[in-house]
Amino acid sequence: MDALKSVQTLISARPILTTTGVLVLGAVLIAYQDYRSYIALGPHGLPDTFWGWYRQLRMTRFSRKDTTIPAPYDFDSVAGPHDATSFLPKNHAGALSWRPGNKAPRVPGFVAPQRQVTDQAIAATKKAMYNYLDALAAANSKLLQIQTSVLEGPVPALAFRGFEEKAESNKPKILGHTRGEMCHIHPPDGSTHLVLGLADQKRVIELGWGRRHRLSGGGMLPWNYTFIYAPRDEDEMDVWKTIVVAATSRNRGSLRTLLKDEIGGMTGALDTIKTMPLVFV
């Protein structure tokens, strides 16, 4: 009772100081909870420390919140070469359809890392995804390579071979932001970041397969930088492959791609190796 009276006396005597203290304490508690949620997302391109959390907080200045709106821009003012062209399958059998389910996975609002915390891929699926990128790079060894991601830290990424050594006229300009990197998978959840043509990105978002990064279109990353949800089964694994192929085709050039394979425990026969049309960027 004496303690309560003391608090009441303090509030009466110094209302502004007391209110300020309560607000500061509340802000600290909210920030600490946000920091703990940031750490819980696992390893990524920023340090999983206070300074990593603070850095992503500062990047909010360059971020956007309209990541699930298919095309919140004037297309003609932001589109690059081939952004109006779709590289997703056009035949009825392979055409992209709605992602099953009534809602997207939950993605916390951090600028970085961008991760999903529900509907995460199982270990076997993630292994199959990495194996597919390896196979895609091996089938196009003069064009593609697997390298350590320059965006996500020590994880494998699909990249333009020898990007830094190429003449500026031979570099896909859209990949300048990513230094030649086109695609990487996030080990904790099986989601993917890739550089996708705007026509295909619009379709992917409309049908519920992904969203943009919060930094896409904000100056630090191109509008094309896209987050693809983790596949939950074999059918979604096939969809993921078609999106990876579409992104790679948009950025690369003449590609031979494995449309169906039998790697990483995923069933399916080796179907065909198809030459994609030339894409000059």
3 state DSSP class of 210: strand
Residue of 278 and 78 predicted with greater confidence: 78
User: Per the structure block, which two tokens stand in for 162?
Assistant: 């020898």
- Confidence grade of residue 281 (pLDDT, cut at 50, 70, 90): very low
- What's the pLDDT tens digit per position in 78-114? 998 889 999 999 876 678 999 999 789 999 988 879 9
Residue 229 DSSP code: P
Count CA within 13 A, CB hemisphere, residue 160.
Answer: 29
Q: What is the pLDDT averaged over residues 233-257?
A: 82
Retrieve residue 105's tokens: 């996975």
Give 46's pLDDT tier (boundaries 50, 70, 90).
Answer: low
Q: What is the pLDDT of residue 279?
A: 34
39-48, 122-131, 134-143 — which is least confidently predicted? Answer: 39-48
156 forms bridges with which residues in the sheet? Answer: 148
d(CA 132, CA 248): 13
* Strand ranges for the chain from DSSP E: 144-148, 156-160, 181-185, 192-195, 210-212, 225-228, 256-258, 273-275
Q: Which residue did the predictor score with more confidence, 36 or 129?
A: 129
CB within 8 Å of 194: residues ≥ 6 apart: 182, 183, 184, 225, 226, 228, 243, 244, 247
Distances (CA, A) of 254 to 22, 60, 123, 134, 189: 62, 38, 32, 18, 31
**pTM of the full predicted structure?**
0.80
